[in-house]
Amino acid sequence: MAAVISHYKKLEIYKRDGYICQYCGRPVVAYDFVKGMPVPNDAATIDHIIPKARGGNNCRGNLITSCKECNVFLSDKGEGYPLLPKMVFRRKKQMIRMLNNQATTL
């Protein structure tokens, strides 16, 4: 069973990122959801920079704030990447590079 990211940890990530989607720059809202309620596109979600399917984990350095629309668009398979604006894709690549550099210095 996959480890769940706690509500507290999610709020920390949203606050760290200024409640801004790190892909499109749109402000996001941390909604309290009721099961079955439709999720608006400006809903704050957590995205893994390195997807869990590719060995990523739930550490704070691998988590960023994303709006629902961008997070759904970017699957762990990377099918959305060719369609993203270049600056968005560059941002994720920069973050992956930064994480890799941090891992080699430990």
Question: pTM of this prediction?
Answer: 0.68
Element (H, E) at 64: strand 63-67
Of 55, 101, 5, whose CA–CA distance to 66 is shortest?
5
pLDDT of residue 87: 46
pLDDT digits (tens, 9 = 90+) for 6-44: 889 999 999 999 999 988 888 998 877 666 666 677 788
Q: What is the percent of the chain where pLDDT is above 90?
A: 17
Q: Is the confidence at residue 97, as pLDDT, over 90?
A: no
* Mean pLDDT on 64-75: 82
Could you tell me the two tokens for 12? Answer: 């920390």
pLDDT, position 12: 92
So where are the chain's domains?
7-105
Instruction: Decide if domain 7-105 falls under CATH 2.60.120.
Output: no
Q: Enter the tokens of residue 46.
A: 């957590």
